[in-house]
């Protein structure tokens, strides 16, 4: 499913689903609120959580705290409540127990408004609660967030030092690795042997695209 985004005029509401059998996209309705820089996460019951993002016209986008749920059976988006803080350019990952961890991001000050806060969405209760605080403020995390085999979460993007978050204690520890730069929109993937590959992105300071990679044995 592809939902929201932006074009030359501002944030979008449309949603489509790609069918790999037919090779075609089908329109499945509209978000309740236009969103760009949001995050979508598949829940255990097949619904999709769409959380945060920014809404409005290009040049005057305003981050939102709201969330929506897409039901593939009804093809409709419904309200899923709100986070404690509006955020966009954040990250989100589904935990082993089915809850969703929403990570950092930014407010309407963009680079100057990076967040350290975490929130957790419970799809059973339909509520957001605090998930604690990161050691480093981060935004533009992209796909640099990985659920590890032990249920903890590696958060690698948006700062020079990765962190590992424990959803049980709601605490983080900094990984003993200096990436040398703040890499925005880098990617991370857990390999079959449990190691994590970090790759690419661009440096926040000079917007230089990177071909660097790292292997973490954690």
Whether the pLDDT of residue 24 is over 90: the answer is yes
**3-class DSSP state of 110:** helix
Same domain, 98 and 17: yes
Q: Given a cut of 90, is residue 59 above it in pLDDT?
A: no
* Per-position b or e across 54-80, b if 16+ CB within 10 A of its CB: bbbeeeebebbebbbbbeeeeeebeeb
Number of domains in the chain: 2
Q: Which domain holds residue 111?
A: 1-136
| Predicted confidence (pLDDT) per residue in 102-154, tens digit | 999 999 888 899 999 999 999 999 999 999 999 999 999 989 999 999 999 99
Give residue-wise pLDDT tens across range 162-208: 999 999 999 999 999 999 999 999 999 999 999 999 999 999 988 88
Q: Looking at the structure, tell me whether residues 75 and 166 fall in a common domain.
A: no
Q: What is the CATH number of the domain that holds 121?
A: 2.120.10.80
Question: For the chain, percent helix, then strand, then coil, each to nearest 5?
Answer: 0, 55, 45
Report the pLDDT value the prediction gives residue 194, as an integer from 0 to 100. Answer: 93
Average pLDDT, the chain: 95
91/191 same-domain check: no
Residue 130 and residue 145 in one domain: no
4 alpha-carbon distance from chain centroid: 14
Residues 101 and 146 in one domain: no
CB 176 within 8 A of CB 135: no
| Cα angle 164-167-169, degrees, rounded to a multiple of 5 | 95
Residues 121 and 150 placed together within one structural domain of the fold: no
């Amino acid at each position: 499913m592809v939902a929201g985004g932006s074009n030359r005029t501002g944030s979008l509401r449309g949603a489509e689903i790609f069918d790999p059998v037919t090779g075609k996209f089908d329109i499945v309705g509209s978000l309740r609120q236009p969103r760009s820089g949001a995050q979508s996460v598949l829940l255990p019951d097949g619904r999709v959580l769409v959380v945060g993002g920014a809404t409005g016209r290009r040049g005057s986008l305003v981050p939102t705290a709201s969330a929506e749920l897409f039901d593939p059976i009804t093809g409709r988006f419904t309200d899923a409540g709100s986070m404690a803080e509006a955020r966009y350019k954040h990250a989100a990952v589904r935990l082993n127990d089915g809850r969703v961890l929403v990570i950092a991001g930014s407010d309407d000050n963009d680079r100057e408004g990076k967040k350290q806060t975490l929130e957790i969405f419970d799809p059973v209760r339909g509520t957001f609660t605090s998930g604690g605080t990161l050691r480093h403020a981060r935004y533009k995390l992209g796909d640099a967030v990985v659920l590890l085999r032990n249920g903890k979460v590696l958060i690698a993007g948006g700062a020079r030092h990765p962190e590992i978050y424990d959803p049980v204690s709601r605490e983080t520890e900094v990984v003993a690795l200096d990436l040398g730069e703040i890499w925005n929109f880098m990617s991370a993937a857990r390999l079959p042997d449990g190691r994590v590959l970090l790759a690419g992105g661009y440096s926040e300071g000079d917007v230089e695209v990177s071909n660097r990679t790292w292997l973490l044995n954690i």
